[in-house]
Structure 1
Amino acid sequence: MGSQAPEAKVTPERPVDESESSSKSILKEEPQLNTKIGSIDAEKVKKSPSEAPALNSKKEYRPPGLLHVGDLEGTIKKCREQVERIAKDCRAKNRKFRDTEFDLDADTNLCLHYVAEPTGVQRVTDIFDTPHFFNPEGVASSNDIVQGALGDCWFLSALATVSSLPRLIEEICVARDELVGVYGFVFYTDSGWVSVIVDDMLCTNVPQFEQLSESQQALYHDDKAQYNTVARKGGKALTFAKSGSEGETWVPLIEKAYAKLYGNFSHLDGGWTGEAIEDLTGGVATLVLTKDILDPDAFWTEELLKAREDRLFACSFRKLSSLHPRDGGGVLKVQGLFGNHAYSVLRAMECKGKRFVVLRNPWGESEWTGRWADGSKEWTGEWLKILPELGHEFGDDGQFIMEYTDFLQCFTRIDRTTLFDSNWIMASSWVTVPANEVPTPYTYGSVSFIIWIPEKTKTFIYLSQLNERFFETIPSHSRFSIGFVIVKAGDTMPLDESVHSKPFHRSVDAELELDAGTYFIYVKVDHVQGIPASVGDDDEKGKKKRVYMDSRWLGKVAAAKVLGQSVSTNYKAGGASVFLPDTLDQVIQRDISFMSKHNGRPRRAHKKQTFLRKLFGLGRPKPATQVQTSTNGPKDMVMCAGLRDETATHVTLGLKVYTRSDTPVVIQARIKGEF
């Protein structure tokens, strides 16, 4: 009792190399192209050793985990300093920390945004007699995660998946002082690494003693102290996520920090696991549809067996509703599993000639009931011996085993997130792209990127829309689907294209090896907008219902009409030509024609674009090992760049290029009409 309170505990497991955050880019200016198409003028890139040390020369190698580009170390250092400063200040004032920016106790509605109605808010030290952040070994475990009253299974599934990699969660939970009640975390966003600091107040779902009826109070012999000890203690009292191990607090606190990152708890209601893993690690999520897997054997050996090495997996399938009226159209389970629900892939292993996948339900219960389920007939005496090898024990704890063939038949969607080691570097560019003024089919030409690759390297190209979860409550009738192809300067055929994704998916990517040279990334955009078409029948209140038409359908019809009429020898499209989308061949040929007239130089932004960039603060992308945004202002500006009303007709796109080399890529964005 009289001993000095402990200082703030900081939990990063890897040493901080401050040289990483201060390392300068090798390229002092954008490389110029010589007369040979696609080549880089080596004199513009070449620097003396003292002038340009290799970017990774002072770095200690770090295995795949958190993305070690951008200011990760600087963000961790700042977060740690803030936690220590808050803890010192609170001790001096004999106060526990209260986060006035995200105050669950005094400003509940702002933090929850009506997603739930908890009966109270308590501090961790009031909920648990002996709270501890991690388990006794000081690590996070996937078995520690249990979903609460919030529909954030996608995030909790991501937590379970990330925790399957040793010490990775511990790196995200940067610093804490459990006595004062202050905790610091880091997350990855469109604008790079950010820190989030929260207090230790959590929502509870158990009423206070005074709120009980007389008969309920009598159950506790009218003893308030007994009631508080029995009913208002432990993880069972928490409204949202909790740990499966009594007294552990990291799960509800990181969930709270994630809610603060996105503004409130309601913004966590529904999502994709891959996107949450991106936020936790800075990795790149790729959607894999099981129907599209060409060779299941290759997917097993080249993908799933590498789980927990440099990639993480989660899976789901669409919910099924009963077709029988007597069932009330209820949601059906598939051998114990639920549709529209995220499951973590913890590991994949081959044992005795069979392929097994170990998965986990973030509910902490409700497991697979098919072959190889806990206690099923397949588990004979001989097979029970492999349970330790699989890292599995029978019990309704949410973890279960499936054979690989059943896994592919059950799940329709696999989220694969690629993690990068410290040998990877990244450059990026964000740009706001106006949508077509009239409906058109999927079209190229509205935006493209030029990238300069200084040396042969393995390359990961990632195109994404702005993360709109920060402001998803702002209504919009517009949605966008995106894709891209990669064309080497001077060529007419693409080298590769982005992996096919579902419509309206936030991101697409491609992985390939590129030689040194200049490449075009031609982006195709499909703008979907609800267009008022007619007024329908009266609704129940006697009001006319407006019917909306899918703009893609209208665009295809309009384009078909213009093309049909063009068979006439004297037909002049005039203004109707705007309904015809630019094809990939047309866009490529325009660039080839321009380059042939300008000594192999690709078209660049002209003075108008330069003026607009200066006017709106859109800095030209620079080669760097950190995220390059389209604004020079605060990071929050990037998050707010997509704010729009129902008539908004633009999309914000970011291109990230990851390379396994010492020299970063240079990126130049081009908007139609500005070059």
Structure 2
Amino acid sequence: MLAPDSALTLEQGWQTTEATGSLQNLKKFNNQDFNSLRTLCLSQGLLFEDATFPAHISSIGPNLLPQDKLWQIQWKRPTELHRNPYLIVDGASRFDIMQGEIGCCWMLAALGSLTQQKHFLENVLPKGQGFQDNYAGIFHFRFWQYGVWVDVVIDDQLPFLNGRYLSVYPRTSNEFWPSLLEKAYAKLRGSYQNLHGGYLSDALVDLTGGVQVQFSLKDPPPDLEEILKAADKSRSLMGCSTSGQLRRNKELRNGIVQGHAYTVTGAVKIRYKNGWKHIIRIWNPWGHGEWKGPWSDNSPQWDHVEPRFREALLRNKNDGEFWMSCENFKEQFSWLCICNSTPTFLDFGDQHCTTWSVDRHINLWSPVLATDRNKCSPGAVSTNPRYFFKVPDYDPKTYNVVISLMQKHAEHMQDAKNLTIGFLITMRNSEVLKKIFSLTRDVTKYFTLSPGTYAVVPATTDNQEFEFLLRIFMKNEDYNENSNYPPSPLLPMDVPRQNQDSSCKAVFLRYAKQGSAINASQLQQLLNEVILQDEMTSLGGRFSFDSCRGILSLKDLNSNGQLTLQQFRSLWQSLTKYMDIFRKEDRNHSGFLDVSGLKSAIQTAGLAASEQLLLLMALRYGDAARRIGFSDFVYCMLRLETMTYALQNLAEGRSQISMTTVEWLTLVMYT
């Protein structure tokens, strides 16, 4: 909430509550329109050649390689490399990526995490392009830059040196999305040279438009394990890095590479021997080279894990991915970086239903603060722009404010040096409470602030004009007494409150047939890709086509085999509710409910079932041991709920129900 004193702020800059810019209002990089250029090339029978990022050493950069090697670079199209090229083969995965000669692990680590979160990946990798239909040697990708999404067009000529990819190359020889996406990112940043070394945090933000927070693993927060689990459950992007810039890419005996960035691909609490163990899953962008210590692929620790957990979690391949304990994670790595649309990774423990709102400001001014990062010039606080926000209430055990300040480089100056930037947090009386500075593009910090009115003062220690993007994220407690079920952390509903309904709509439109309805096949794809994101929840198996037909029929009020948006909203609410109930009743984190857990879940949902009915449900929806996985649990509960309410409506207070044969058959055969 902005205080009245912020009127000056709105005159000097502009402010919005939109979190990540709009994909519907794309900015065309270099004013190049993909559809128009492709249509022109197709009409002329030509393959696109990008004059703004040509197949020339100028696109590589003058200092990446010695001059003699620069002139040896050859550019080849995928159609020259393989007789049957594809943009994507069997879905985009981190295991498609193999790092080449360029030191772009920071970008590939972020990209590996992006492939796990399809709702973010689809923003970056637009559909409707490939090598089969309307191929014209042109592709496009999207990145978030300083508050707006930018569409970057490229040709598909890739650089090779001595017959090998200069940069990232695909594990599958005829799959080219990693190489083409990286080329688009190189174009955005000015050259391939500008990908040789960088910040993981920058790439995570550029691929999502989200907010990133870095955590020092040498001085970690006391709740690091809870933050990791919350980040994993809320589908955040995560990466980590090792120290050792002077020994970059040196592999230690234990398999860890110094001066290198990795992707964090999972974090779980697993039953081990007679207790519990927090373990972290990590992926190396090299596509090989793994940790050799405890919890690695062949370590004896896995012998003390229940077979079903071991089978679900352990992938014993030399693919660069491995598990390690949280203790070893803190010992071997220096930094952890987490990114999401809003700071959902700070929501953990026994918290109320929360959402995050964001105020966004862009401004430009000549700074008054031009001293070192620990001292403030006397006039800085009163002269520099101030951005006010109000904290209404708080829980001292949780974080409730995140402030992110990003310095903006001029267009075509992506390789410009960063200034030392930061911000001060003050009370209304200008008393300085916090000072945060760093020589990075993005300075972000999380806080626990007590109720009151505060101001953020962006600043730089360099006496230089400074354009910036400031975002202030605030946690909002939702005390709706009528809601017994907070939004599940697995569903993409961790957005500002006013956008929660649009999030449901966004998921619907992503899978709906021509944007109007969803059939059973599309519902199956949606449920398996959006809902089953959690390791433990997915242990019970995927949603089958038959169960999705059954689920659809329970919400299909028009009896036409499809769900409208309104009907899908009802299903979405039920999914949220039953996911929370399932996670609560799955006390041993097995991914299944036994008969006792099912009984408790039914009671929690406010429904009723006799002992005989309970056993029949376990037989009908459970496995041989009468355990029910999440996908079958959802179908079971939706059917019980629907049948209960249908019979209650028919009864209308009567002890007996009268139905025609057609009504009875319709009820039991379709729903």
**How far off its partner does 1:369 sit?**
1.1
Per the alignment, residue 314 of structure 1 pairs with: 239
Counterparts of 2:294 and 2:437, CA distance in 1: 31
**How far off its partner does 1:304 sit?**
3.5
**How far off its partner does 1:473 sit?**
5.4
Counterparts of 1:281 and 1:269, CA distance in 2: 21
Per the alignment, residue 610 of structure 2 pairs with: none
Residue of 75, 85, 89 corresponding to 1:131: 85
Per the alignment, residue 378 of structure 1 pairs with: 301
Counterparts of 1:257 and 1:464, CA distance in 2: 22
1:397 maps to 2:322: no
Counterparts of 1:419 and 1:662, CA distance in 2: 14
Distance change >3 Å, CA 79–CA 168, structure 1 → 2: farther
Counterparts of 2:297 and 2:446, CA distance in 1: 39
Letter matched to residue 159 of structure 1? L
Letter matched to residue 443 of structure 2? S
More helix by share: 2
**How far off its partner does 1:358 sit?**
0.7
1:151-162 mapped onto 2 (5 Å cutoff): 151-162=103-114
Q: What's the secondary structure of 2:469's corresponding residue?
A: strand
1:508 maps to 2:441: no
Distance change >3 Å, CA 372–CA 470, structure 1 → 2: farther
Letter matched to residue 450 of structure 1? R
1:128-164 superposed Cα distances (whole Å, 9 cap, x missing partner):
222111222xx31111111111111000000001112
Counterparts of 1:443 and 1:434, CA distance in 2: 12
1:402-430 superposed Cα distances (whole Å, 9 cap, x missing partner):
11111111112111223239974542122
Q: What's the secondary structure of 1:365's corresponding residue?
A: coil
Per the alignment, residue 75 of structure 1 pairs with: 26
Per the alignment, residue 291 of structure 2 pairs with: 368
Distance change >3 Å, CA 661–CA 314, structure 1 → 2: same
Counterparts of 2:278 and 2:61, CA distance in 1: 43
Q: Is the Cα contact below 8 Å between 1:450 and 1:518 reproduced in 2?
A: no
1:134-145 mapped onto 2 (5 Å cutoff): 134-136=88-90, 139-145=91-97
Per the alignment, residue 267 of structure 2 pairs with: 348
Task: State TM-score, norm by structure 1.
Answer: 0.57
1:430 maps to 2:363: yes
Q: Is the Cα contact below 8 Å between 1:450 and 1:519 reproduced in 2?
A: no
Task: State TM-score, norm by structure 2.
Answer: 0.58
Counterparts of 1:332 and 1:412, CA distance in 2: 16
Letter matched to residue 259 of structure 2? N
Per the alignment, residue 670 of structure 1 pairs with: none
Q: Is the Cα contact below 8 Å between 1:347 and 1:357 reproduced in 2?
A: yes
1:165-191 superposed Cα distances (whole Å, 9 cap, x missing partner):
134223211242432122111111125
Per the alignment, residue 99 of structure 2 pairs with: 147
Distance change >3 Å, CA 349–CA 654, structure 1 → 2: same
**How far off its partner does 1:293 sit?**
2.2
Counterparts of 2:304 and 2:3, CA distance in 1: 67
Q: What's the secondary structure of 2:25's corresponding residue?
A: helix
1:531-555 superposed Cα distances (whole Å, 9 cap, x missing partner):
xxxxxxxxxxxxxxxxxxxxxxxxx
Q: Is the Cα contact below 8 Å between 1:442 and 1:524 reproduced in 2?
A: no
1:335 maps to 2:287: no
Letter matched to residue 164 of structure 1? Q
Structure 2 residue runs without a partner (length 5+):
11-15, 345-354, 394-399, 475-495, 500-671
RMSD value, Cα: 3.9
Letter matched to residue 85 of structure 1? S
Counterparts of 2:392 and 2:498, CA distance in 1: 11
Per the alignment, residue 196 of structure 1 pairs with: 152
Distance change >3 Å, CA 120–CA 504, structure 1 → 2: closer
1:572-618 superposed Cα distances (whole Å, 9 cap, x missing partner):
xxxxxxxxxxxxxxxxxxxxxxxxxxxxxxxxxxxxxxxxxxxxxxx
**How far off its partner does 1:524 sit?**
5.8
Counterparts of 1:656 and 1:170, CA distance in 2: 24
Counterparts of 1:205 and 1:319, CA distance in 2: 28
Query: Which fold has the larger relative contact order, with Cα–Cα distance below 8 Å and residues 6 or more apart in sequence?
Result: 1
Distance change >3 Å, CA 349–CA 661, structure 1 → 2: closer
Residue of 179, 182, 189 corresponding to 1:255: 182
**How far off its partner does 1:374 sit?**
2.0
Q: Is the Cα contact below 8 Å between 2:202 and 2:441 reproduced in 1?
A: no
Counterparts of 2:372 and 2:327, CA distance in 1: 43
Bigger Cα displacement from structure 2, 81-90 vs 269-278 = 81-90
Q: Is the Cα contact below 8 Å between 2:20 and 2:210 reproduced in 1?
A: no
Letter matched to residue 264 of structure 2? V
1:464 maps to 2:406: yes
Counterparts of 1:241 and 1:304, CA distance in 2: 30
Per the alignment, residue 214 of structure 2 pairs with: 287
Bigger Cα displacement from structure 2, 125-134 vs 274-283 = 125-134
Letter matched to residue 508 of structure 1? T
Sequence identity of aligned pairs in percent? 21
Distance change >3 Å, CA 308–CA 334, structure 1 → 2: farther
Counterparts of 1:385 and 1:339, CA distance in 2: 34
Distance change >3 Å, CA 441–CA 303, structure 1 → 2: closer
**How far off its partner does 1:525 sit?**
4.5
Q: Is the Cα contact below 8 Å between 1:157 and 1:362 reproduced in 2?
A: yes
1:78-97 mapped onto 2 (5 Å cutoff): 82-97=33-48
Counterparts of 1:77 and 1:653, CA distance in 2: 21
Q: What's the secondary structure of 1:521's corresponding residue?
A: strand
Distance change >3 Å, CA 128–CA 492, structure 1 → 2: same
Q: What's the secondary structure of 1:72's corresponding residue?
A: coil
Letter matched to residue 470 of structure 2? L
Q: Is the Cα contact below 8 Å between 2:361 and 2:471 reproduced in 1?
A: yes
Counterparts of 2:366 and 2:311, CA distance in 1: 53
Q: Is the Cα contact below 8 Å between 1:443 and 1:525 reproduced in 2?
A: no
Q: How many pairs are equivalent?
A: 439
**How far off its partner does 1:466 sit?**
3.0
Q: Is the Cα contact below 8 Å between 1:153 and 1:342 reproduced in 2?
A: yes
Counterparts of 1:370 and 1:336, CA distance in 2: 8
**How far off its partner does 1:460 sit?**
3.5
Q: Is the Cα contact below 8 Å between 1:343 and 1:359 reproduced in 2?
A: yes
Q: What's the secondary structure of 2:386's corresponding residue?
A: strand
Q: Is the Cα contact below 8 Å between 1:69 and 1:425 reproduced in 2?
A: no
Letter matched to residue 455 of structure 2? F
Per the alignment, residue 108 of structure 1 pairs with: 57
Counterparts of 1:332 and 1:77, CA distance in 2: 41
Bigger Cα displacement from structure 2, 302-311 vs 147-156 = 302-311
Residue of 470, 477, 481 corresponding to 1:655: 470
Counterparts of 1:520 and 1:454, CA distance in 2: 9
Letter matched to residue 112 of structure 2? A
Distance change >3 Å, CA 77–CA 101, structure 1 → 2: closer
Per the alignment, residue 637 of structure 1 pairs with: none
Q: Is the Cα contact below 8 Å between 1:320 and 1:333 reproduced in 2?
A: no
Distance change >3 Å, CA 509–CA 305, structure 1 → 2: closer
Per the alignment, residue 183 of structure 1 pairs with: 139
Counterparts of 1:321 and 1:204, CA distance in 2: 28
Q: Is the Cα contact below 8 Å between 2:268 and 2:278 reproduced in 1?
A: yes
Counterparts of 2:73 and 2:3, CA distance in 1: 61
Counterparts of 1:80 and 1:503, CA distance in 2: 31
Per the alignment, residue 548 of structure 2 pairs with: none
1:230-251 superposed Cα distances (whole Å, 9 cap, x missing partner):
xxxxxxx422101222311110
Q: Is the Cα contact below 8 Å between 2:126 and 2:142 reproduced in 1?
A: yes
**How far off its partner does 1:87 sit?**
2.2
1:406 maps to 2:358: no
Q: Is the Cα contact below 8 Å between 1:443 and 1:526 reproduced in 2?
A: no
